[in-house]
Amino acid sequence: MRTQVAIIGAGPSGLLLGQLLHKAGIDNIIVERQSGDYVLGRIRAGVLEQVTTDLMLEVGVGERMLKEGLPHGGFDMLFDGARHRIDLEALTGGKRVTVYGQTEVTRDLMEAREKVGRTTVYEAANVQVLDYDTAKPRVTYEKDGQTHTIECDFIAGCDGFHGVCRASVPRGAIREFEKVYPFGWLGMLADTPPVHHELIYVRSERGFALCSQRSHTRSRYYLQVPLTDKVEAWSDDAFWNELRLRLDPEAAARLVTGPGLEKSIAPLRSFVTEPLRFGRMFLAGDAGHIVPPTGAKGLNLAATDVKYLSTAITEFYQERSEAGIDGYSERCLKRIWRAERFSWWFTGIMHNFPEDGPIVAKLQQAELDYLIHSEHGRRTIAENYVGLPLNFGES
């Protein structure tokens, strides 16, 4: 097989890149290790920045998102027993975020791809990326007992944190920056009305909690838990009881409980790879960087990476210019480090770090108290939460 761009991974970054390239008339094939159903079964992100919703609209897959996505003009922060609203709209000149699950984003992109007839190979085993330091990269994979080869001009590594693309780069050519947090998030999805019409980020003495949602009838809640906890040990009742203990009395009284549809524990990590380009292979999304989910930035960064990448590749074909692909790493990394900083800071201020002693808890409280009572403080949070514009850093 031959294509212009071989995309590894059919998560949101791979699928969105495929659609952006398709719109530019550039042929591409996606190679995915899992089945489509498996990819759709992963419950992850829930909050889209405007740059991401704009990109969905740009590639013509925004129809359902406009109908079913929930625009949020603010969120609550709960600490020291009291809730404070961050009025995103008022603090950022009218910007909002949209609550629309990653599962739905992925489903919309998969359906659009099927409609336009571009190839996605699911359940591809032993995917290998080869010769990307030459002008003739190759991808090989095994399926139905046979080895297949794709010849291409470029490889896009959209294969997530555990993917093959970053792992195939010689160690001397790559630098990795990493911080692993000493706790995880236990998430639960339930068909119960959300406790509040907007999200609540909670800092409590018992640990962080987040009240999120997928619709008016489906909630998504998270609890900070020790990394040693096993998801099987958390019954639905235990989850609801712990959540109630971390909420303010009004929210706790309003919490509607019900059977959990899904529960999982995600470790928290800050991670950045430099550079993101290796000859004719590019890393995008979680393949190149991870943020802790506290700032809701992961999927949004993935979306802007692939927008930059599709622009660079389009310039290469249409204008015979390599300026875009040469500048890809730097352009992405600027934005990535900004989001990494915010996610790391927001994680640091909202979670319990028992090993740091009681003084840290007091200092966190004092910082939150200062920020929330300062318009500049609230604006700093709001500005980062709604995200940077696509042309950030360019004059």
CB of 264 to ligand RFL, least distance (A): 7
Is 351 a binder of ligand RFL (CB under 6 A)?
no
Rule CB under 6 A: choose which of 5, 7, 45, 371 binds ligand PHB: 45
Residue pair 198/307 in contact (Cβ under 8 Å)? The answer is: no
Indicate the residue among 149 and 321 with the shorter CB distance to ligand RFL: 149
Q: Is residue 201 annotated as part of the catalytic site, yes or no?
A: yes
Prior bond to 193 cis, omega within 30?
A: no
Binders of ligand RFL in range 95-124 (CB under 6 A): 102, 124
Residue whose structure tokens are 């989850």: 239
From the list ligand PHB, ligand RFL, none, which binds 163 (C-beta under 5 to 8 Å, kind-based)?
A: ligand RFL
CA 210 centroid distance within chain: 16
Residues 244-283 that bind ligand RFL (CB under 6 A): 266
Q: Where are the alpha helices (DSSP H) in the chain?
A: 12-23, 36-41, 50-58, 63-68, 88-92, 102-116, 164-167, 236-246, 249-254, 298-319, 323-350, 358-372, 375-386
Q: How many CA atoms lie within 13 A of 305 on its CB side?
A: 31
Residue 144 or 375: the one with the smaller Cβ distance to ligand RFL is 144
Q: Which of 69, 187, 260, 324 binds ligand RFL (CB under 6 A)?
A: 187
With CB under 6 A as the rule, give the number of residues binding ligand PHB.
10
Known catalytic residue: 72?
yes
The tokens for 220 are 């998504």
- Give the binding range for ligand RFL (CB under 6 A) out of 8-16, 67-75, 132-140, 172-180: 8-16
Binding-site string for ligand RFL from residue 139 to residue 158, where x marks contact by CB under 6 A and - marks none: -------------------x
| Smallest separation (angstroms) from ligand RFL to the CB of 102 | 5
Q: Could you say whether residue 110 binds ligand PHB (CB under 6 A)?
A: no
CA dihedral 54, 60, 61, 62 (to 10 degrees): 50
Cβ-based nearer residue to ligand RFL, 10 or 20: 10
385 is known as an active-site residue = yes
Q: How far apart are CA 78 and CA 97, in angstroms?
A: 19
Q: Residue 354 and residue 225: Cα distance in Å, rounded?
A: 12
Tallying the residues shown for the chain, one arrives at: 395
Binding residues for ligand PHB restricted to 256-275, rule: CB under 6 A: none
Q: Give the CA radius of gyration of the chain.
A: 21
> Where in the sequence numbering do the catalytic residues fall?
72, 201, 293, 297, 385
**Residues of this chain that bind ligand PHB (CB under 6 A):** 45-47, 199, 210, 212, 220, 293-294, 296
